[in-house]
Structure 1
């Protein structure tokens, strides 16, 4: 339903569920987003409820019949969860296996044993980027910050010199690289090719993370020169594991889904024949569901069984990994419902009509819309989902590579200037023992650098591919 409505709306062959003019629709969008922002920031309402109410408010302000607005919302929620829900669940399982088996510790300890002095910030970027592939941002922070604090304390480093590269690695993965929820939903909304988006995302991510991580950390350490807070440095409990999985096996497991998805993209480009057997095989094994499922199954042996997990312990690990993502799933689903309501009331077509007369490139427009929603709501995921819904019609006439760049432009914009309405802001502030001003000068500026650099790289790539 989502795919059909986006395609047909872009072609102008489906009537919106309201007859409102462009001015009323523009006001309705602003009012709907304002309702969401107000409920999240002022009334501290959960983002799922805020997005649900905001979607209904959008329908009401646009003059749509309430039953049709409800139908749009539930259709969008269902199709979004159907599209990315299983992938989010599989990513959570892989992340939990990585943490509980000691695989994450093995990656950290191995790299840190080989790095020191000036190489340490680069080691932290590498650790965060590898661990950040299968993990949600908040989970990655909780997993990595204890390591950051211990490294800063043990090596007598400035906390910012070690912390900023780690945060940059996590944040770039979260905003630009599937299978994270935001990029997956954007790919689904604009019908981008996942493999091409992943390949171009890695291309954009590498220079972005270098600039925002190790390079900016030198400046951040001068602006905010603080040691690791003693009270936050963890005392690790005694291990109850028989052994830890090997470094090579752990890294191979984490990178398996990425390799499979990139292989599919490469075969699609080289073979370019949907009927060819080799392409059909790679279309299956390189699909995100099969790639992540393969990584989870392999991880049960290379991580779980290698750490001495019994079948019962493996089952418990999987079960515990799913409970914390219920909220994420519902927020992503409600964001998809909001996106579908935007499309069905005709907002996507309105933006398409307006953009024909603008000299702003579609990729820059997508970035600016994501920036505005990010600043307002504080959520990178909400910003990505909402912006993807708004600009989806612009992708109708784009090439495969430019549709992938549209996803990356949205992802880059969704990371712009995290501040007091973002949960990540408070996580960093509390873990690092900073005040609000220090957090803005380090974390918020780093997020802005990521957003601007990635956005600029996307625009540059659009000129050459």
Structure 2
């Protein structure tokens, strides 16, 4: 049974990494090869399946994570990140630093991918941790939870947008309705989770190389205007492109240019160039100093990218092994509420495959025939699928490894922190979706 194979492969991976202390990159590839053999993928095709999975995952994330890490390190080594963190502390105070991180993450995360927003905000989180001497998860976990919620629940992120197209739902209405669920649910979990005893027992250190160790004097740091402008530049470019696309601004030359500079890699590349000048020659620092910051950031990212790529290989083996087709066939005959069915299939696929995109696309295909005669609002069904796709993020999810590596956690601690919060977000999201459908029916919308 394919699901048994998935379960055993996860257990083997945990044993390899926790008991035998095998490197994550090697352990993921080894388990991926084993699953491929068990699922009947021809041996001569296995290297291609692994390479395709790594290529797809790294192709999507390397430019974003690599450039984002360089921007973050330049911000940190120039004192800009400390300037922003200091102002956050002045405005909010140490007691409200979590609220500040949640608000920042939600505002940025509405239009930006989890990975992009994460690498932009995390240098500020690292600096706040260093300045306040707080637990890394006390500051960083609220940020990650808020970003996960925005990315998984709402368009214009790729999963919800793809499902909206399948159900012929309004992207604008889906976003509007979704905010009423995502904001309260995400904020509640973001502020609750760091306070749970099993999370407070973890005290990870900041990974070496991702942030400088120097503490700057006030006159050594760039001004708040420059610091904030550079930090927000990719947000403005990416969000502007997303808003223009949602508004249907046309398909001419200007729109092509907006889409170009609003793509995550180009926006981050432009930001890096501005950061190099603004926090280099403009401040009297040589280009060699700024280049050294970029080099150190790239070196620190090498193992993180390898592990994320291997996670993509594992995910691709599960997809090519026919597990998604098995789940789709097994759930075709279920006669339950379309909302619950769509959520459940997305959650099962997420657990089995690790890919939220595959989960939402497959789940929407199964639920689509039920939509016509059900009377369910298509926007509500989009949110149901999207909520299900965040459940139980674990070792077959490349995002899990990014979370683990950036917060310097063991595999078991990452499961305790991330797998639990993603599951609770999914369950509370389903509850919110069911209530939303009742409200819309009562209002006859």
Structure 2 residue 429 is matched with structure 1 residue 457: yes
Distance 1:264 1:295 in 2: 15
Residue of structure 2 equivalent to 1:313: 289
Pair 124,268 (structure 1): closer, same or farther in 2 beyond 3 Å: closer
Query: Are 1:337 and 2:313 an aligned pair?
Result: yes
Number of residue pairs matched?
Answer: 390
CA distance in 1, matches of 2:94, 2:124: 24
Mean alpha-carbon deviation: is it higher for 207-216 or for 244-253?
A: 207-216
Residue 312 to residue 118, structure 1, CA distance change in 2 (3 Å) = closer
Deviation (angstroms), 1:332: 1.6
Aligned to 2:117: 133
TM-score, structure 2 as length reference: 0.69
The answer to whether the 8 A contact 1:342-1:390 is kept is no
TM-fit CA distance, 1:411:
4.0
Find the counterpart in structure 1 of residue 327 from structure 2: 351
Q: 2:362 aligns with which of 365, 375, 393?
A: 393
- CA deviation digits over 1:11-65, x for unaligned, max 9? xxxxxxxxxxxx3x33333333333222122212122111111111111111222
The reply to whether residue 362 of structure 1 matches residue 346 of structure 2 is no
Compared CA separation, residues 364 and 305, structure 1 to 2 (3 A): farther
Report the Cα distance in structure 2 between the residues aligned to 1:303 and 1:461, rounded to whole angstroms. Answer: 46
* Partner SS state of residue 44, structure 1: coil
For the aligned residues, what is the CA RMSD? 4.9
Q: Name which of 146, 157, 160 aligns with 2:130.
A: 146
Q: CA deviation at 1:279?
A: 2.9
SS of the residue corresponding to residue 247 of structure 2 reads helix
- What's 2:148 paired with? 175
8 Å CA contact 1:244–1:307 kept in 2: the answer is no
Residue 63 of structure 2 corresponds to residue 91 of structure 1? no
Task: Call closer, same or farther: CA 1:237–1:290 in 2, change over 3 Å.
Answer: closer
User: What TM-score comes out, normalization by structure 1 length?
Assistant: 0.66
Q: How far 1:188 sits from its partner (Å)?
A: 8.6
CA distance in 1, matches of 2:238, 2:380: 16
2:246 to 261, 266, 269: 269
Q: Which residue of 1 aligns with 2:209?
A: none
- 2:256 and 2:433 mapped to 1: Cα distance? 29
Give 1:286 shift: 1.7
CA contact (8 A) 2:80 2:221 kept: yes
Deviates further, 344-353 or 239-248: 239-248
* Structure 1: 5+ residue stretches without partners: 1-22, 153-158, 226-235, 374-382, 430-435
Q: Is residue 2:46 matched to residue 1:69?
A: yes
Indicate how the Cα distance of structure 1 residues 349 and 461 shifts in structure 2: closer, same or farther if over 3 A, else same: same
Q: How does 1:56-455 map to 2 (within 5 A)?
A: 56-116=33-93, 119=96, 121-123=98-100, 125=102, 133-135=117-119, 142-149=126-133, 166-172=139-145, 175-176=148-149, 187=158, 206-214=183-191, 239=216, 243-271=220-248, 273=250, 275-305=251-281, 307-358=283-334, 359=336, 360-367=340-347, 370=350, 384-385=354-355, 388-389=357-358, 392-395=361-364, 409-411=388-390, 413-414=392-393, 448=420, 451-453=423-425
Alpha-carbon spacing, 1:176–1:294, altered in 2? closer, same or farther (3 Å): farther
How many Å separate the matches in 1 of 2:221 and 2:119? Answer: 19
Q: Residues 76, 48 of structure 1: CA spacing in aligned structure 2 closer, same or farther, 3 A cutoff?
A: same
Q: Distance in 2 between matches of 1:170 and 1:367?
A: 23
